[in-house]
Amino acid sequence: MDKEKVELRKQEIKDTLLCPYCGEKLKRWVIPQNVFTAWPNEYLYVCFNDNCQYFIGGWDAMAELGRKCSYRLMYDPLTNSCSPLPVTNTNVLKDDIMEDE
């Protein structure tokens, strides 16, 4: 996918809650509360599609830095911004998905 299209989708993410890379609906992820919690939010939105090119490409990008991990796309509704959320395997963070009511 071209960068312009991704950037356009990022601008629309507040209204669509769709991943700008794969188009899947982002899932509400409850932030585990512990001493390392840095977000003021109760939850964030995360792309948990294991076939998303952002997640898949993250393995190679992090390997180039000598790290054995990847990242998922995270959307913060308080700041209306996207950023990477580091993960060490495909199942990390999935226990904290808040299903839609």
Measured CA to CA, the distance from residue 86 to residue 55 in angstroms comes to 10
CB atoms within 10 A of CB 3: 7
Q: What angle do CA 89, 85, 17 make, to 5 degrees?
A: 110
Say what the pLDDT of residue 21 is. Answer: 96
Q: Which helix (H) or strand (E) holds 10?
A: helix 3-16
For residue 43, is pLDDT > 70?
yes
For 45-93, the pLDDT digits (tens) are 999 999 999 999 999 999 999 999 999 999 999 999 999 999 999 999 9
87, with CB counted inside 10 A (0-12, 13-18, 19+), is buried
